[in-house]
């Protein structure tokens, strides 16, 4: 049910109650109220600030007939103030007059800074003292009676409201009051959410309250018969909601999900990196010294699937990098179509080049804003919360007779890759002659790990075939040489030695896995038998 607003019902603000914890801009705003002939009622610290700014102020005690009492716990709450906010200006007019109640038309109030005090690590008694009682009462009373009263809870609104008051003879429109009312109830809801979470926490009990606003309706959800929305979490400085689409169509639901995975994939890379995401899995990943080369190496991870993918970079993108897409090629078959290309920034020339393709979404993101500590998963009316999977490895222990030269930077690259691939995940990674790292093949999402290993090997072989420029007779030799230098990384332990046999048959000689199976011994024995170097890291990376 959408409530129809009535634009014509302006209310002159003749009497305002101003009582704020955050004093920012309050004097300037009160000056505008005063200039419009509005009487200002105020309390304690706020009153002092207004008076120092030369504004005439009525003390709240003159309205309530009560003193400020109990160390400030009682200031505004009274029959007089809440009646002045709550009575119906039509139905209750005579009753109010008989009771000596005069309308208050505006409340300017923000609440005791419970959250800031909490974040400063205050003790329990200080927290309790910072639970505002009078403020929320005024705010909620004014909001309930928004038909006649304006409730101002955000100093960020002063300027716009001042303009409206000045342009509208000291009155505010119904639409404005309605909007302010919604903001007020959002503020009191957020406030009590913070208090209840904190009080539960002090009792050693976890409760979670998540509030989201600023919704955007998306064209549709994961499929076109599903409706979908994206919302921003309230009260946060950084949100995935804030990514900027510089060019192209609106991001779809699936773009959002894939791009999230893309940004996750490149976030922890140490060098200039690029991820190519298809169906939520990185099918290409590379890092190195030169961004253009890195892009080519990531693309080569699965050059067929890369068409229609979502691409992310972790460094500002130059034109040299994006010309690899050949968007201006005469032969349309040479043009590489991707859904999304995301980066922390783009050079102007890169943007100019990318804007040639009208459907390509170009997205700028703030890398500082995308390091979540917690991962939330919603099941039906239940929430799974977990800390994010940040630690790459517990140890680096060779468990076989053979040890290998495995550069730690390549190992970390491989662990970042495998951490991002859906389980069961197998990644084959290599160090290129120029020191870059590349995901050479990956197997994702299989019930049986053997299938993931097969998929990763098949992909790696295909890619090596694509890059090989020698004669066909030399191909297998080249593959064996490259595989021999690569490392196979598994997200979880090998339950049986069969994966080792497959890897060795494909020419692989270095395997990294967390270890921890009851059959580790037989897996290690198989490695020793076949001359494989196997490292245990002690850290599993399931991702589902």
Minimum Å distance from CB 238 to a second copy?
Answer: 6
337 binds a second copy (CB under 8 A): no
Residue with tokens 């993101």: 365
389 binds a second copy (CB under 8 A): yes
The residues pairing with 340 across neighbouring beta strands, listed in sequence order, are 310, 361
C-alpha to C-alpha distance for 114 and 127, rounded to whole angstroms: 7
H or E element at residue 98:
helix 93-98
Q: Which of 7, 44, 51, 79 binds a second copy (CB under 8 A)?
A: 79
How many alpha carbons fall within 13 Å on the CB side of residue 341?
A: 31
Q: State how far Cα 438 lies from the chain centre.
A: 28
Q: Which residue, 164 or 462, has its beta carbon nearer to a second copy?
A: 462
Binding mask 450-489 for a second copy (x = CB under 8 A): -x---x----------------------------------
Given a contact cutoff of 8 angstroms between Cβ atoms, the answer to whether 508 and 502 are in contact is no
Distance CA 300, CA 320 (A): 17
> Looking only at residues 155 through 214 of this chain, which bind a second copy when binding is defined by CB under 8 A?
178-179, 181-182, 185-186, 188-189, 192-193, 195-196, 199-213
Nearest approach, Cβ of 81 to a second copy (angstroms)?
9
* End-to-end Cα distance, the chain: 38
Cβ proximity to a second copy: between 10 and 539 the closer is 539
Whole-angstrom distance, CA of residue 86 vs CA of residue 149: 9
Number of residues that bind a second copy (CB under 8 A): 137
Question: In the bound complex, what is the minimum distance in angstroms from residue 414's beta carbon to a second copy?
Answer: 17
Please state the closest distance from residue 365 (CB atom) to a second copy, in A.
Answer: 10
Question: Strands of 39-42's sheet, edge to edge?
Answer: 58-59, 39-42, 15-20, 106-110, 150-152
Rounded-to-integer distance, Cα 179 and Cα 531, Å: 71
Residue from 163, 236, 359, 396 binding a second copy (CB under 8 A) = 236
Q: Which residues of 150-168 are buried (b: 16+ CB within 10 A; e: fewer)?
A: bbbbebebbeebbebbeeb
> CB of 49: closest distance to a second copy in angstroms?
25
* Cβ closest to a second copy, residue 93 vs residue 403: 93
Q: Please, what is the minimum distance in Å from the beta carbon of residue 470 to a second copy?
A: 26
369 binds a second copy (CB under 8 A): yes
Strands 15-20 and 437-443: unpaired
- C-alpha–C-alpha distance, residues 339 and 311, integer Å: 8
Q: Which of 29, 30, 108, 136 binds a second copy (CB under 8 A)?
A: 136
- 59-78 binders of a second copy (CB under 8 A): 64, 66-67, 69-71, 73-74, 77-78
Q: Hey, which residues are catalytic here?
A: 144, 279
* Residue 46 binds to a second copy (criterion: CB under 8 A): no
Upper half-sphere CA count for residue 371 (Cβ side, 13 Å): 6
Q: Which stretch binds a second copy (CB under 8 A): 15-23, 234-242, 289-297, 327-335?
A: 234-242
Of 254 and 321, which CB lies nearer to a second copy in the complex structure?
A: 254
* Separation of alpha carbons 394 and 516, rounded Å: 13
Q: Quick one: 400 or 453, whose CB is closer to a second copy?
A: 453
Preceding amide of 424 cis, omega within 30: yes
Under rule CB under 8 A, residue 379 binds a second copy = yes
Q: Of the candidates 226, 356, 396, 481, which one interacts with a second copy according to CB under 8 A?
A: 226
d(CA 410, CA 322): 25
- Does the protein bind a second copy through residue 103 (CB under 8 A)? no
Question: Is 7 among the residues that bind a second copy (CB under 8 A)?
Answer: no
> For residues 270-329, which are near a second copy according to CB under 8 A?
278-281, 283, 302, 304-305, 309
Question: What stretch of H or E contains 377?
Answer: strand 374-379
- Which residue, 348 or 374, has its beta carbon nearer to a second copy? 374
- Distance (Å, whole) CA 513 – CA 494: 8
Under the binding rule (CB under 8 A), the answer on residue 254 touching a second copy is yes
Q: Report which of 346, 345, 341 is spatially closest to residue 366, judged by C-alpha positions.
A: 345
Interaction between residue 355 and a second copy (CB under 8 A): no
Q: How far is the CB of 517 from a second copy (least distance, A)?
A: 12
Name the DSSP class of 408. Answer: H
Looking at 21-29, 81-89, 324-332, 351-359, which segment touches a second copy (CB under 8 A)?
81-89
């Amino acid at each position: 049910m959408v409530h129809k607003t009535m634009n014509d019902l302006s209310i002159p603000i003749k009497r305002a109650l101003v009582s704020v914890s955050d004093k920012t801009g309050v004097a300037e705003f009160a000056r505008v109220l005063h200039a419009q002939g509005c009487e200002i009622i105020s309390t304690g610290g706020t009153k002092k600030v207004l008076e120092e700014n030369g504004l005439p102020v009525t003390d709240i005690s003159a309205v309530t007939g009560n003193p400020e009492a109990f160390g400030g716990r009682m200031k505004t709450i009274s029959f007089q103030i809440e009646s002045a906010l709550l009575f119906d200006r039509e139905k209750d007019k005579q009753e109010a007059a008989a009771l000596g109640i005069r309308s208050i038309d505006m409340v300017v109030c923000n609440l005791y800074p419970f959250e800031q005090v909490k974040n400063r690590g205050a003790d329990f008694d200080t927290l309790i003292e910072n639970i505002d009682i009078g403020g929320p009462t005024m705010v909620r009373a004014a909001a309930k009676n928004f038909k006649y009263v304006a409730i101002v809870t955000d100093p960020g609104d002063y300027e716009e409201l001042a303009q409206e008051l000045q342009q509208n003879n000291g009155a505010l429109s119904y639409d404005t009051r309605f909007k302010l009312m919604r903001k007020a109830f959002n503020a009191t809801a957020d406030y009590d959410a913070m208090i209840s979470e904190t009080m539960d926490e002090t009792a050693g009990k976890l409760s979670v309250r998540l509030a989201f606003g600023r919704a955007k309706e998306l064209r549709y959800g994961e499929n076109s018969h599903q409706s979908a929305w994206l919302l921003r979490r309230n009260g946060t400085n950084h949100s995935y909601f804030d990514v900027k689409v510089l060019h192209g169509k609106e991001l779809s639901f699936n773009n959002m999900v894939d791009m999230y995975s893309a940004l996750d994939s490149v976030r922890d890379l140490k060098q200039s990196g690029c991820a190519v995401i298809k169906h939520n899995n990185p099918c290409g990943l590379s890092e190195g010294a030169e961004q253009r080369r890195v892009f080519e190496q990531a693309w080569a991870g699965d050059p067929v699937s890369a068409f229609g993918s979502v691409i992310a970079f972790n460094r500002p993108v130059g034109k040299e990098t994006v010309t690899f897409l050949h968007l201006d090629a005469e032969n349309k078959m040479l043009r590489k179509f991707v859904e999304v290309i995301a980066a922390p920034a783009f050079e102007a020339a890169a943007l100019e080049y990318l804007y040639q393709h009208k459907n390509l979404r170009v997205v700028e993101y703030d890398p500082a804003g995308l390091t979540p500590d917690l991962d939330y998963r919603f099941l039906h009316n239940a929430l799974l919360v977990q800390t994010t999977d940040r630690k790459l490895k517990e140890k680096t222990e060779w468990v076989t007779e053979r040890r290998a030269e495995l550069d730690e930077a390549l190992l970390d690259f491989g662990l970042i890759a495998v951490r991002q691939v859906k389980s069961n995940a197998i990644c084959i990674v290599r160090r290129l002659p120029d020191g870059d790292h590349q995901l050479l093949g990956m197997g994702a999402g299989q019930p049986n790990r053997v299938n993931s290993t097969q998929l990763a090997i098949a992909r790696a072989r295909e890619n090596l075939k694509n890059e090989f420029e020698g004669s066909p007779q030399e191909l297998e030799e080249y593959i064996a040489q490259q595989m021999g230098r690569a490392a196979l990384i598994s997200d979880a332990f090998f339950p049986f030695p069969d994966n080792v046999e497959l890897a060795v048959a494909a020419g692989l000689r270095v395997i990294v896995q967390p270890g921890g199976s009851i059959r580790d011994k037989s897996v290690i024995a198989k490695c020793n038998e076949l001359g494989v170097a196997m490292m245990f890291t002690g850290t599993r990376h399931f991702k589902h």
